[in-house]
Amino acid sequence: MADSTVVFITGVGKGIGRGLLEVYLLRPNYTVIGSIRDKHAPIANELKQLPKAEGTKLIIVSIEATSATDVPKAMDDLAAAGIDHVDIAIPNSGFTPTPGPLDTADVSEVIKAININAVGPIYLYKGLLPLLEKSKKSPKWAAMSTGAASITRVEPHSAHNVLAYGMSKAGQNFFTQAIHSAHPWIISFAMHPGLVQTEMGNLGARMMGLEQAPDTIEDSVNKVIAVIDGATRENTSGKFLNTIDGTEFPW
């Protein structure tokens, strides 16, 4: 694995995660690690059939975001597969409860969202840190966030209608910034991938009065990967970026 670029993406079964997986698999000499809840589920076989470039391979691991034991088990699987480093980590998987008025928010769904969206990436980080340390490049932690996590823009985004999602992703944003602060050798940043035509994105778009989300998965994924490709410690790390238009979101 020493000469291969190794990318780890969580939540590759559908949506943006799957889009990212498909694009990275078409790059030569990549090792792409994708997580789903159960690597023995039928979706795993479907993912393994995706087209791949020369010298590129796919490894599927099982990670349920709230599990304290899944990430260590996945790391054991990677060690058995000969993975000795990771260059890019993309915490992408997430949970979005049904939006609605603030006064009807379901506290149990807020707790679930925090466990998946904010705590889950901490488990992932603790497992991947030794592999990121062994990268011969500048390792990158590229967290998939959302404009709804911007505390400054809660009112203009009407993000009070997605309390659980916004609060939990704001927590993830803090952790992303904490990685940047704690590890000067990691390029750590948060990304808003647009209002994307996924199940979650279309739900949010309808809440805003739109028929569907304006950004296609293909366009979002291409812009997300372009940001990751060009990310540097000086110009990108510690920032919250709108990948669609290249601007920076306030935290």
% the chain with pLDDT above 70: 92
Which stretches of the chain score pLDDT less than 70? 1-2, 196-197, 199-211
pLDDT digits 0-9 by tens, 77-124 = 999 999 999 999 999 988 888 888 999 999 999 999 999 999 999 999
- Tokens coding 182: 């704690």
d(CA 225, CA 209): 29
Q: How far is CA 44 from CA 47, 61, 158, in A?
A: 5, 9, 37
According to the model, what pLDDT value does residue 114 have? 97
Which helix (H) or strand (E) covers residue 112, if one does? Answer: helix 107-113
> Domain spans of the chain?
5-242
- In one letter, which amino acid is 251? W
DSSP 249: -
Catalytic (active-site) positions: 165, 169
According to the model, what pLDDT value does residue 156 have? 87
Beta-carbon count within 10 A of 183 CB: 17
Write down the pTM of the prediction: 0.94
- In one letter, which amino acid is 232? T
According to the model, what pLDDT value does residue 199 have? 66
Which of 3.30.420.40, 3.40.50.720, 2.40.10.10, 3.40.50.300 would CATH assign to domain 5-242?
A: 3.40.50.720
d(CA 114, CA 35): 19
Residue 60: strand, helix, or coil:
strand
d(CA 79, CA 224): 28
d(CA 10, CA 17): 7
